[in-house]
Structure 1
Amino acid sequence: MHESPADTPASAMAADAAALVSKALVPYNLKPPDEDIAALLSGLTIQGEQLLCDVIRRNGAAAAGNALEDWRTLTGRGPEASPLGDWNRVRALARVVRAFHRVITQEG
């Protein structure tokens, strides 16, 4: 049976990443509960690690320069000590994941 491009693992991962990014980048007044923020943090970290591998494999590091720097900062330390620390971190990770995906689709 032939897989359509929409059925490939890469497209499924892209759809998962897009869904997480959309959930994370809602307006501040729609901030999800802390449990959802924790799940978003986990999911975005996993997606980011997978996309990072693709960025590096495709020699997209130059194009992803600022996003790579943000990724190192966000994954190298915890969130700021504030009521919105985890939420801000999730939103920043979502922007990095979105940037990684753009680099990969532009390179591919």
Structure 2
Amino acid sequence: MTDHRAGSTDENAHTEAMAHDAIAITVAFDAIAFDADRALAPHRLMPPPEEIADLTDRLIAHGARLVGVVKTVPEAEHSVRAKGALKDWYDLTESGPGHGAMANWVHMRAMARMCRTFMDYLREREGRGRP
């Protein structure tokens, strides 16, 4: 006789995987927010070109992960901001930054704003605002 109170092994594995994903996303939100804050620092605190390149690469990776999560939500449930951020994200990642240090800085900042928008949207869906 099987004891159904504990659930099946598949259900337990799924529950554990979901809990792990929730913890990983929370940790990632902290890292993403840290990078976005650095990217969005005032002009007088503009990072050197090497850091801009590094931050841009990290923000692209963060954004791709966030887009993947946002896309798991049915499109009909996307907020207007999330829809706009997705469009902007695809435009930014397809076109690249342009030429010159200022263009790289502006592009990095736009990527950071998209990451923040995706995080805000996902937090709102979870019922919690920005910390």
CA distance in 2, matches of 1:10, 1:62: 19
Match of 1:91 in 2: 109
Alignment match, 1:102: 120
In terms of Rg, which structure is larger?
2
What's the TM-score once normalised by structure 2's chain length? 0.73
Identity of aligned residues (%): 30
| C-alpha RMSD of the superposition | 2.0
Verify: 1:27 aligned to 2:42, yes or no: yes
The runs of 4+ residues in structure 1 deviating greater than 3 Å are none
* 1:43-95 superposed Cα distances (whole Å, 9 cap, x missing partner): 00000011001111123673101111110111001212243011000000000
Larger relative contact order (C-alpha < 8 A, sep ≥ 6)?
Answer: 1
| 2:5 corresponds to | none
2:39, 2:122 → 1: CA distance?
A: 21
Q: Which runs of 5+ in 1 are unaligned?
A: none
Distance 1:8 1:72 in 2: 27
Unpaired segments of 5 or more residues in structure 2? 1-19, 127-131
- TM-score, L = length of structure 1: 0.88
Alpha-carbon distance in structure 1 between the residues aligned to 2:31 and 2:46: 20
Indicate the residue corresponding to 1:50 in structure 2: 65
Residue 26 of structure 2 corresponds to 11
1:8 is paired with a residue whose SS is: helix
SS in 2 for 1:84: helix
CA distance in structure 1 between the aligned counterparts of 2:89 and 2:39, rounded to whole angstroms: 16
Whether the 8 Å contact between 1:58 and 1:107 is mirrored in structure 2 is: no
Q: State the number of aligned residues.
A: 104
